[in-house]
Amino acid sequence: MNRQAQAAVLFLLGGALLHAGTTDLYLRYVKAALQPLLLASGAVLVVAALATAWYERRRARRGPDRHHHPEPRISWLLVLPLLALILIAPPALGSYSALRSGTALQKPYAYGALPAGDPVPLSVVDYASRAAYGHGRSLHGRAVRVTGFLALDRAGHPYLVRMALNCCAADAQPVKIALTGTLPPVLRPDAWLEVTGRFTPRLTHDPVNDGPVPYLEVTSAKPVPVPRDPYDETWNN
């Protein structure tokens, strides 16, 4: 790979990063808070590519370089991440990963006040932490609305799940809510549901890591489209 080819690959890779960072594509790889760093990385690669091309053009005008050595062929591996960004848009992690990983639920430092309204919109992480570690004290007498994807264990027990991110999709871990009450007659794994229900003190434990998995007593459920950001970033806030 000569310098001109390197510059072209760098330019395309930087452009691909900028494209991902200015669309929702980047949310399949990293959490939303990393968007500025992703855009900055893309811009740096584009500038480096343009600088390399400009330098090579100036050097070509001065004549051939007698001390030029060919670049190693392994440099063509730079094309692989470019092809991955251009050709592959990975789906968000779903029930297969969720059932093979233990819950990532952690005890929060404090609980904020619930907003007014009925039902109260909560994330999977927020409801699960209030139910498991707060013993549902802030949830008593309140209807809640939670959105996540459906997972069914080997016995057919349903869970509402959201994959929680610390940094990127590679470290995503599930947070699970066990469902009871009024459920749809047909339960399809990976289907996204908006569930309305109430707190129940019933609690189970994840068979993978023995972590707490609280229950939610469902009063109604309806299918919803996959959200713009399928991951939950509130677990470590």
* Inside any domain, residue 234: no
Whether the predicted pLDDT of 10 surpasses 90: no
Cα–Cα dist 221/27, whole Å: 26
23 shares its domain with 129: no
108 shares its domain with 201: yes
| Average pLDDT estimate for 82-98 | 74
Cα–Cα dist 161/172, whole Å: 12
For helices 79-87 and 3-21, what crossing angle results, to 10°? 30
CA 2 to chain centre: 37
80 shares its domain with 100: no
Q: Which of 87, 105, 138 is the last residue of a domain?
A: 87
Query: Residues of the chain with pLDDT > 90: what percent?
Result: 38
Whether the predicted pLDDT of 235 surpasses 60: no
pLDDT in tens, 11-65: 878 877 887 778 777 767 777 777 788 788 888 888 888 888 788 777 777 766 5
pLDDT at 237: 43
179 shares its domain with 217: yes
102 shares its domain with 219: yes
Report the predicted TM-score, pTM, of the whole model to 2 decimal places: 0.71
For helices 35-61 and 3-21, what crossing angle results, to 10°? 160
101 shares its domain with 48: no
Residue 140 lies in domain: 95-223
- Total domain count, the chain: 2
CATH of residue 200: 2.40.50
| Average pLDDT estimate for 85-106 | 81
pLDDT at 74: 64
